[in-house]
Structure 1
Amino acid sequence: MEYDEPLFFRVMQYAARADRDVVDMVSGNPDWDAPPALREGLSEYADAPGEAFQYSPSEGLRELREEVGERRNVDAAQVVVTNGTAEANYLGMARAMERDAGDEVILTDPVYPYYPGKTSMLGGEARYVAVDDRGRLDADDVREAASEDTACILVNSPNNPTGAVYGPETIRELVAVAEENDALLVSDEVYDHFDYSGRFESALTVDSDRRIVTGGFSKSMAITGFRVGYAILPHGLVDAAKTRHMLVNIAASRPAQRAVLHALRETPAEYYEETRDVLRERIRTFT
């Protein structure tokens, strides 16, 4: 199967060959430090006995899944720990596509460039719904674009690249559109810590077996290299996602999971507020 290389790969290659300083507006790498508790967790793990260096359970460490479940108010059995949020999105899209309920994936325009690539890789067809000039997505436009060929509706809020936040009514309507068309909504919420509008609403607030929520710690803890994310799935979709995850990755990194778990338990709220303040000041500068 052939699929397109993301365009920004080429942009990064141009930048690497440049003979002058280049401002990187592509990579989503936070430029602040990780929580001190994360380093503590890694240090403690380095002294663990040898058996602690082996595979973790494929679906993720039980303690980490329980921590995520408690924070997101879901059953830990619905949580699959993944190799970053990127894999969580892949698992959600794959589950949507393998149900033989269509081959179309609805994406927003503009779009995070990995989404179309995943769509092609899974044998799907991307259908784009344009947002307005402030990045707002009209759920009625999604409803108009959806059909019996729609397998998946993939959105992320707060949005990359526009920064828009989809409010409660939009999220409820997107879930409804998925239900009306025998599709799955995959809601990528990796930027949930960075809502400056007060409007963010998780798709988890909508009770439905047609929505999958993904998230992770790359942005909130400034640890993009650790690759620890998660998918939260309806009970009926968990087993298939766990099987695909096991076949693709076997398991996520055990030391990374342990360090993240320690950081979740020990990091004070002030750390997150300070990082939010950094971005808040940059938003003011740009706007």
Structure 2
Amino acid sequence: MTDNPIFAVAARAEALRAQGADVITLAAGEPQAATSAVVVEAAVAAVRDPATHHYGTAQGDPDLRALVATVVAADTGLSWTAADVQIGLGAKHALFLATQALIDAGDEVLVAAPGWPGHAEVVVAAGGIPVPVATDEEFRFSVEALDRCRTPRTRALILSSPGNPTGAVHSESRLRQIADWADQHGIWVISDDIYRAFDYTGTYRSILRVAPQLRDRTVVVGGVSKEHAMTGWRVGWLAASPEVVASARLHVSRTITHVPTVNQRAAHAALGDTGTPAEAARDYQRRRALLVDALNGIDGIDCPLPDGGMFAFPDVSRLLRDRGWADSADLAAWLLDTVHLAVVPGEAFNAPGRIRVCFAVDDDTLITAVERLHTALGPAAHEPAAPQLEEAR
């Protein structure tokens, strides 16, 4: 099993930074912001509470599970209880718990191409075979493409909307088609909703909101990492049918025992803070526009406006041809070495000829990154004026 290629970019950036280079990282799949003070103070109080110094339950803190159930209920329009929720070490762990509950060795799970490599990784870790499904020109699944990849071994589909790295949000009509197809063929849907708070089109819907009949064959995965800037706290969850939750609970009990109780208390405080995700979404929407405009101002780059998420995903194939780079990995390495700007090559997402650029950073960082991009790639005679900080805010 290979490591996530995004980590290699981060490691190279850290190595340069350790040598004294002023590296700007737009490669990370996380918000640059610190976790909110409300959450931090809740964690401090939890550390001081002797109750958190001892073992907790494998399924997760009952109060946190009950609160997660209300969040999932609000998204899906269906009734959920604490018993329907399993707490994991982040959404990635929850995805693994879902796949190991659903598949046997050799079973196939459909994943998006382009798509986040972690989806394929958790399938492999659970003993399954990830099958990439080519998305359409707007990076969405079509039933036709899904059916072309379906075999008698197909057990599940991992659906992420908004997606990573594409930011694509599936429409209600498309979700309904996917749900009907999955229902017809007895295929499970693992709905990775980690970017649910960052929808800039107003069209995000949970697949269960559109197709409640899939309730017993859908696993809803979420967490606090993205919308609450808590990637390092490692708290995620799945909501699912009793047999999936029972399998996940048993796996947690036999391996990690439970997610640290202090972290669960922090996550509980985060879910009570609706203001932080809303403010982040407003900031990201504005920064998304700034970054996409800047990328489209460079000859040879074509950057669509993402529906949601935290990333721009431009097509740089013409730039590669014009400048003589073999692939987007070469371009990413050149940007890192030349102007100390880290981005992720599209090869990491099964999308050669593209790069992923994160806009979940502060204004100053993003503006400096844009300036470096134009210094490196934009001919001076055609270089647009650098955006002004006061305008960006």
With normalisation by structure 1, the TM-score equals 0.90
Matched, 1:96 2:102: yes
Listed as ranges, the matches of 1:196-211 within 5 Å are 196-205=200-209, 206-208=212-214, 209-211=216-218
- Which residue in 1 is equivalent to 2:328? none
- Which residue in 1 is equivalent to 2:258? 251
C-alpha distance in structure 2 between counterparts of 1:120 and 1:25, whole Å: 28
C-alpha distance in structure 2 between counterparts of 1:274 and 1:133, whole Å: 30
- Which residue in 2 is equivalent to 1:117? 121
C-alpha distance in structure 1 between counterparts of 2:207 and 2:95, whole Å: 14
> What is the RMSD of the two structures over their aligned residues, measured on CA atoms?
1.9
One-letter amino acid matched to 2:72 = R
C-alpha distance in structure 1 between counterparts of 2:134 and 2:69, whole Å: 33
C-alpha distance in structure 1 between counterparts of 2:192 and 2:84, whole Å: 16
Q: Secondary structure at the match of 1:194?
A: coil
- Which residue in 2 is equivalent to 1:275? 280
Kindly state the Cα deviation for residue 247 of structure 1 after the two structures are TM-superposed.
Answer: 1.8
**5+ unaligned residues in a row in structure 1: which ranges?**
none
C-alpha distance in structure 2 between counterparts of 1:138 and 1:286, whole Å: 29
C-alpha distance in structure 2 between counterparts of 1:203 and 1:235, whole Å: 19
Matched, 1:167 2:168: no
C-alpha distance in structure 2 between counterparts of 1:145 and 1:283, whole Å: 33
What's the CA shift string for 1:112-152, capped at 9, x where partnerless? 01122222222322211112333222233113322211012
What's the CA shift string for 1:52-80, capped at 9, x where partnerless? 31122110100011111112211221100
C-alpha distance in structure 2 between counterparts of 1:45 and 1:84, whole Å: 19
What's the CA shift string for 1:196-219, capped at 9, x where partnerless? 111111133223211111000001
Matched, 1:261 2:265: no
- Which residue in 2 is equivalent to 1:194? 198
Q: Secondary structure at the match of 1:133?
A: coil
Deviates more, 1:102-111 or 1:170-179: 170-179
Kindly state the Cα deviation for residue 27 of structure 1 after the two structures are TM-superposed.
Answer: 1.9
Residues 122, 272 of structure 1: alpha-carbon distance in 2 compared, 3 angstrom cutoff: closer
Listed as ranges, the matches of 1:1-287 within 5 Å are 3-18=1-16, 20-49=21-50, 51-73=51-73, 74-98=80-104, 103-205=107-209, 206-208=212-214, 209-265=216-272, 267=273, 269-287=274-292
C-alpha distance in structure 2 between counterparts of 1:24 and 1:177, whole Å: 40
- Judge conservation of contact 2:101–2:248 (CA < 8 Å) in 1: yes
With normalisation by structure 2, the TM-score equals 0.67
| Percentage of identical aligned residues | 26
Q: Secondary structure at the match of 1:191?
A: coil
Which structure is larger by alpha-carbon Rg, 1 or 2?
Answer: 2
Q: How many residues align?
A: 280
C-alpha distance in structure 2 between counterparts of 1:277 and 1:255, whole Å: 30
Q: Secondary structure at the match of 1:81?
A: strand
C-alpha distance in structure 2 between counterparts of 1:188 and 1:285, whole Å: 27
One-letter amino acid matched to 1:159 = G
- Judge conservation of contact 1:37–1:263 (CA < 8 Å) in 2: yes
